[in-house]
Amino acid sequence: MKRILVSGGAGFLGSHLCDQLVAEGNQVTCLDNFFSGSKQNISHLQSHLNFELLVHDVCNPLSLEVDEIYNLACPASPQLYQRFPIETFKTSILGSLNLLELAKSTGAKIFQASTSEVYGDPQLHPQPETYFGNVNPIGPRACYDEGKRGAETLFFDYHRQHRVEIKVMRIFNTYGPRMSATDGRVVSNLILQALQGQNLTVFGDGTQTRSFCYVDDTIQAIRLLMDSSKEITGPLNVGNPSECTILELASLILELTGSKSKISFLPAATDDPHKRQPNISLALRGLHWSPQVPLQGGLIKTIAFFDSYLSQNS
């Protein structure tokens, strides 16, 4: 039985990861301060003997005995991190420093949930891990983009200087049940608008692309990377290489919900990437991983989750 710390464990991705780790028989400590996470996401785990909740801000140092650390602590919603940019940046940098120090002192292996946002508005398409990106360092999204870039720097410096065993993953747009209804991300926004008969809001002309990966596929990749050989440190792209425009996504959601809503257009968001598609050749070779859940199948499950959410909160 491994002693595993999941920082940000009450968030969307973190709670699914906690589910998987507990199911595997590990002793899991979920660390969260509920800045963006939700107690509801982990309520089903709190009676489990192998699960404990530690309410703590990762920006503050901590000490406990662990074998593995997963760092998923950081607001990922553009709406939230642009509202709290300093807190977001501190979470990425100070949080990484504190967890890396914990890994260094305990000899634990440590995982960093990085992001496709490190590529900014990419000028190379699709994006391989060797691409350095095109990020505006002083724009409204920089707190998240540059925070994650800085966290990657810290991880590799601790690996080189202190021989900490690291695993760094650049996660592309993940969606699924337990996404927050208020986080402003495109999949949750469009589904909720369709289910409530509201206009589906698309920023810009809708031709910007994203590559949507269902949460189960992302969690599988995280576990495969963590269990891979020491030589595989990352950074490793994980996402769905099937590109989709926002207009195509909106049309598919209208079809799957049976909604009569219309699509309305709003001004484009500042520094919003025009294209986003991962090159996953490293994940294919190193982890033998590729996403298995098609967009339509994943959306059906996500729509069912939000339909239930609206019924419970009506």
Confirm if 160 and 225 have CB atoms less than 8 A apart: no
Single-letter amino acid code for the residue at 215: V
Report cis status (omega within 30 of 0) of the bond before 126. Answer: yes
Distance CA 314, CA 185 (A): 21
Type of residue found at 159: H
Query: How many angstroms separate the CA atoms of 147 and 115, rounded?
Result: 10
Closest CA to 286 of 241, 249, 234, 245: 234
The residues pairing with 131 across neighbouring beta strands, listed in sequence order, are: none
Q: Which of 74, 75, 66, 153 is nearest to 110 (CA)?
A: 66
Q: Let me know: does 119 contact 172? Beta carbons within 8 Å.
A: no
Catalytic residue positions, numbered: 144
Among residues 218, 279, 229, the alpha carbon closest in space to that of 76 is found at 218
**In this structure, what DSSP letter does residue 166 have?**
E
List, in sequence order, the alpha helices (H) in the chain: 12-23, 39-42, 78-83, 85-106, 142-162, 186-195, 215-226, 246-257, 281-287, 295-312
CA dihedral 139, 143, 149, 151 (to 10 degrees): 170
User: What is the C-alpha to C-alpha distance for residues 140 and 137, in angstroms, rounded to an integer?
Assistant: 9
Residue type, 255: E
